[in-house]
Amino acid sequence: MADINFDPNGPGIDNGRYFGLPFTAEESRLVLFPVAWDVTTSYREGTAEGPTAIQRASLQVDLYDPHHPQGWQQGIGTLPSDKSIHENSKKLRKTAQRVIEHWENNGAPDDDTLQANLAQINQGSAELNHIVYETSRRWIEAGKKVGIVGGDHSSPLGAIRAAAERYPGMGLLHIDAHADLRKAYEGFTYSHASIMYNVLHELPDVSTLVQVGIRDYCDDELHLASSTPRVVQFTDHDLSAEKFGGSSWYALCKQIISPLPEKVYISFDIDGLCPDLCPHTGTPVPGGLTYQEAVYLLVMLTQSGREIVGFDLCEVAPAPDAADEWDANVGARMLYKLCNLTLL
C-alpha cells in the first residue's frame, strides 16, 4: 500500500522506486520497468548502469509539473530490477566486444568462432526481448501503461511489441540522433542500431514511424526510410535549416505530429538531445534538440488530442566519476516529463 505519510514537498526517500514515490506497481496507472542491458553497444558502453543512475538522481526531482501538476498522484510504480538481466548483459558484453574487435581487425565473416559468438549474443538478445515483452504485456493487460528505462536502445523492442498488440495501428514517435534502421548491425540481429529496422519488419501493427532529430545514418538506412511509406523523417539538418530560415518550432512540431495516429508510443534515445545534455551516452553526436524543444514537442503531441500509450527512455549512461551525475540528472527529468504526459 502507498505510504499515507508520504510528503510530496519533502526530500526524496531512497525506497528503490523512481522519484521516491510510495506506490507499488499494482497501485499505479504507470509502471516503470528498468532494463539494465547494453550488450551490442558499438562505441561506448555504460548504458546498462543508466536505470540505477536515473533512479538515484530522480530523488532530487521536485514533483510539481506545470503540464500535469497532480500527475504523480495517479501512481508511478517501479518494478524491481531484474538482476539476471544485468548479469547476462555483462557476460554477453564481453563476447560482443570480441565480435566487434573481429570486425575492426577485418576478420572473415565465415569465421567459426565469430559465428558461435554471434549465435550466443543473438540468442541472449532474443531471450531479453521475450522477458521485456511478457512483463510489459502482463502489466498492459492489467490496465497499466508501461515505460521502459534502458539500457541501450535494443532494450524496449518487447515493450513496443506488447503495446502494438494492445493498440493496433499505433504510431511510434522516435527521437534519436540515429535512424536505427540497420539490418543486424555488426551481425547482431537485435543491435541497438537495428531496433527500428526490427520494428518495421516484425511489428506490422505499428502503422507509422516518425523519426525526429536524426543526424547520423548510412545510405542503406536512408534508402529504407525513403522507400517505406510507414517512415517519416525529420532530420536534424532539415529541422535546423527550417529554423534558420525563420520557421518556428511550433510550426515544425505541428508538421512532426501530423502523420501520427491517435495512439502513440514514444521511443526516446537520450542522444536525440544535444550532447551537452548527455555527454556520456553511448554514441553522442553534435547537434540535436534542446531539452525545452523536446518537452515542447511532447506537450504539443498531447495537446493535439493524441494519447501516449507507452514509452521508453534509453541510452542514458552515468559518468565514470560518480560525482558527475549530469547525464542521470537530465535523464531523470525527461523521464518524469514522459511519465506525467503519459498520465494525462
Q: Which residues contact 337 (CB under 8 A, 6 or more apart)?
A: 65, 67, 295, 298
Rounded mean pLDDT of 22-35? 97
**pLDDT at residue 42, as a whole number:** 86
Average pLDDT, the chain: 97
**pLDDT at residue 101, as a whole number:** 95
Read off the pTM: 0.97
Q: 318-342 pLDDT, tens per residue?
A: 998 877 899 999 999 999 999 999 9
> Does the pLDDT value for residue 181 go beyond 80?
yes
Cell of 331: 535523464
Rounded mean pLDDT of 186-199? 98
CA angle in degrees (0–180, nearest 5) for 67-72-76: 125
**pLDDT at residue 43, as a whole number:** 87
**pLDDT at residue 320, as a whole number:** 87
Rounded mean pLDDT of 267-277? 98
Q: 34-49 pLDDT, tens per residue?
A: 999 999 998 889 999 9
**pLDDT at residue 51, as a whole number:** 98
Rounded mean pLDDT of 239-245? 98
Give 2's pLDDT tier (boundaries 50, 70, 90). Answer: low
Cell of 184: 543486424
Rounded mean pLDDT of 14-21? 96
Q: 129-174 pLDDT, tens per residue?
A: 999 999 999 999 999 999 999 999 999 999 999 999 999 999 999 9
Give 1's pLDDT tier (boundaries 50, 70, 90). Answer: low
> Does the pLDDT value for residue 4 go beyond 70?
no
**How far apart, in whole angstroms, are the C-alpha atoms of residue 299 and residue 252?**
14
Which amino acid is located at 220 in the chain? D
CB 267 within 8 A of CB 150: no
